[in-house]
Amino acid sequence: GAVVSQHPSWVICKSGTSVKIECRSLDFQATTMFWYRQFPKQSLMLMATSNEGSKATYEQGVEKDKFLINHASLTLSTLTVTSAHPEDSSFYICSPARDRGGETQYFGPGTRLLVL
């Protein structure tokens, strides 16, 4: 299967600071990257879809100015949580687009963010 990495795996920051999360697809080219958020004991909720070289598409209720997504290359997408607040504390998971054959969707290991 595909290898997807995220960095950092966990981060603690003060309220008001910005945090950047990197997602890399290590062995295939991801033209599309999905970013999900998972609150404790809840399901994954899609935040946004990023396409390489173009602006991200955000789901309803997700502030695009707060969650900046950059997909500059086929192997790297970044999510920046700007001016983080305690309610942004969550588990952020990236997922590159499916294989060309539409077979499987892979997920990163996730980044746990705690905003104090």
Partner 1 sequence: AQRVTQPEKLLSVFKGAPVELKCNYSYSGSPELFWYVQYSRQRLQLLLRHISRESIKGFTADLNKGETSFHLKKPFAQEEDSAMYYCALGGSSNTGKLIFGQGTTLQVKP
Contact present, 116 and 19 (Cβ < 8 Å): no
Amino acid type, 26: L
Closest CA to 80 of 38, 106, 47, 51: 47
* Shortest reach from residue 25's CB to partner 1, in Å: 12
The HSE-up count of residue 79 (CA atoms within 13 Å, CB side) is 33
Q: Which of 67, 108, 111, 113 binds partner 1 (CB under 8 A)?
A: 108
Does 29 contact partner 1 by CB under 8 A?
A: no
Stretch that binds partner 1, among 17-25, 63-71, 80-88, 102-110 (CB under 8 A): 102-110
Helix (H, G, I), strand (E, B) or coil at 78: strand
Does 44 contact partner 1 by CB under 8 A?
A: yes
* Shortest reach from residue 85's CB to partner 1, in Å: 24
How far is Cα 30 from Cα 40, in angstroms, rounded to an integer? 28
Instruction: Summarize as ranges the residues that interact with partner 1 (CB under 8 A).
Output: 32, 34, 42-46, 49, 93, 95, 97-98, 102, 104-110
